[in-house]
Chains A and B, each alone.
Chain A
Amino acid sequence: MLRFWKERFKTGIVTENPEIDKELEEIKKNLKDKVKKLFAGSLAIRMVDSGSCNACEAECNALSNPYYDLERLGIHFVASPRHADILLVSGVMTANMYHHVWDAYNQVPSPKWVITLGDCAKDLGVFEKTYAIKGVDLPVDYHIPGCPPTPKDIMQGLIEFLKKIEINKEK
């Protein structure tokens, strides 16, 4: 374990690394402020995969690695739709997932928002319509494009989404 502590002190906190790019630093600050203002510092997201290739999920998992560490900004990926503010949907929405995704949507307490993630969730991306694909027909509030969107894209997308609901709130 001593070896580990040595390594740990040598590494420091990756998110506070000065070498990390300024752009990401800006995004993080923005995101944290918005979450604090609109969701009292705690935003819960339930991610549902409705038939993606797993790249979108991998990128969402990457959001909790030491470089991005989304939890620190007050954003949590939660285990149940009943704990969620936002339903984050990726993939083409297959016929076999159709009712399950709608089930999850219905379980999210109001007020709720739906964000689609990745090109598949909108216009199927490179895939074509087959009998096994239904396509996303949820009431979508915001779309984050990309195939897959990088963790930075997802964070930027969340900021844009929060900006959008901020404007709606003021109206």
Chain B
Amino acid sequence: MRLIARFAQENENNFEIIDVFDIEIKKTKIDKNNPVTSTLTNKYPAAIWMERKIRDEFGINFEGCVDTRPLVKHERFPKNIYPMRKNFQKIDIEFGEFEPYEYEEVKGEGVFYVPVGPIHAGIIEPGHFQFSQAGEDMLHLEVRHFYKYRSIEKMCENKKPLEIKKIIERISGNESIAYQIAFFNILAKSAGIELNESFKNKSAILLEMERIIHHLTDLGFIPNDAGFAPALAFMSRLSEDARRTLAKVTGHRFGFGAINEEMKYDFSEIFKFINYLEEKINFFENWIIDIPSLWDRFDTTGGLSHEKAQRYGVVGVAARSSGVAIDTRNNQWYKNRGFEIQVRQKGEVSDRFLLRIAEIKNSIQIIRNCKTDSNEKIEFKEFNDGEFHSFVESSIGELFMYIKLKDGVIDRFYVRDPSHINWQAFHTAIYKDIIADFPLINKSFDLSYAGNDL
């Protein structure tokens, strides 16, 4: 069984912990006066962040969880408040006393620590990495995030479903379209309607475009971090072309607001672009394969073993390049449009690099096989109360979204970004490498900070 998400919600008389596995969803009710439950971290290490987040936000304790440090409440965040509880409605908090965070550190003679972040050297989102080093060798890495914690889950509460659309588009800029599709799936389930083929085809094209842009950017940045700048020049041009194409079709370079009830777009620009892209990507592959010094850096670097990937429940590109064949697109609808799951075995930087090239080629095929000639509108009349969830394969991996509607408004909104799981498994991929390889490994995973932090 693979753990997908673990989160809490508050009902009138109790708290509820919801565990989402790939084959079932379990619910545990907890007494409000004594909020304690048992941990899942012994079996599922990726539950650690989820449980620490629940403890921070709801004040629920987990018996047997070894890690009780705060996760989203940083050094100056007031400690005694539980902001996701229903009775917490303050929108301003006073900073509390500075309480230093205890990092996981390897101790020993000659071991020193390298803190990186939260503000990094390049143009990149904030996050913190603390390395325990012996010379150049990385002994341990602790990833500490939630600097971008905006509390989107609370922000969406008590709003009508369509009111949060604009927020959902902007949770993570790189996965905007995936988030929108997940949201529309939920809306359709709640309204009791079936999304029509026209919607499915068009949203699939836009989703693949988003994946293409994301992968193209990475294919430039990974070689660049190994000191091969021409690849970045080549690929950043292509990804700019792709973005401009998306803007020509949807009116927005990131596809904000692109998924809607109508989607009357002229897709001819995209079809023209993918022909051009196919030629370029074949050229790029031939060219990059020929550069041995690059593969010297890529091979044997940042290996995420098959066992580790399974143990942590890793998803997306990182999982597929470690031999774990998970892809929410792996269904008949996508297969009819030429989808083939891409899997590689060793889980090294080179695997993740080549997997991205393979996925772009596959995305091109999928786009070609999607029909766009019909124009059927979707109409949402009313939304029924209940609990709904949805899965979408974003550019990073499997995205899980959950919405509970009560009295016509959102009672609980929860998203598990693929990064939330992958970040936790990320540190297991560094142990055989030196710190100079870290940017390479980091970029080959290319995880989101904004989606993870929420």
Contact = CB atoms under 8 A, between A and B. Distances in A.
B184 interface: no
Contacts of A100: 118-119, 126, 147
Given A128-B155, A131-B151, A147-B256, A47 B123 contact: yes
B283 A3 contact: yes
Contacts of A127: 150, 152, 155, 167, 170
A64 to B, nearest CB: 7
Given A54-B174, A54-B450, A62-B236, A77 B287 contact: no
Contacts of A54: 125, 172-174, 448-450
Interface stretch (B8-16, B19-27, B89-97, B328-336): B89-97
Majority DSSP secondary structure for residues of B touching A: loop
Given A49-B125, A130-B151, A130-B155, A67 B240 contact: yes
Contacts of B172: 53-54
A65 B240 contact: yes
A118 to B, nearest CB: 10
B243 A62 contact: yes
Interface in A40-54: 47-54
A1 B290 CA distance: 7
B124 A80 contact: no
Contacts of A160: none
A133 B395 CA distance: 27
Contacts of A62: 236, 240, 243
Nearest to A64: B236
A58 B450 CA distance: 13
B66 interface: no
Contacts of A96: 72, 74, 77, 146-149
A131 B173 contact: no
Interface residues of A, number: 50
B290 A131 contact: no
Contacts of A7: 283, 287
Contacts of A91: 148
Given A125-B170, A126-B167, A97 B125 contact: no
Nearest to B174: A54
B287 A3 contact: yes
A1 B289 CA distance: 10
A132 B170 contact: no
Contact of A57 (B92, B123, B233): B123
B148 A94 contact: yes
Nearest to B257: A147
A141 to B, nearest CB: 20
Contacts of B287: 1, 3-4, 7
Interface string B239-262: 110010000000001101000000
11 contacts: A49-B119, A52-B148, A55-B256, A57-B173, A95-B95, A96-B72, A97-B118, A104-B119, A126-B169, A129-B92, A132-B154
Interface of A: 1, 3-4, 7, 14, 47-62, 64-67, 77, 79-80, 91-92, 94-100, 104, 125-133, 147-148, 150
Given A51-B148, A65-B233, A129-B92, 18 more contacts: A3-B286, A4-B230, A57-B124, A62-B243, A65-B236, A66-B233, A66-B240, A94-B148, A95-B74, A95-B77, A95-B93, A96-B77, A98-B95, A100-B147, A129-B91, A131-B91, A131-B154, A147-B256
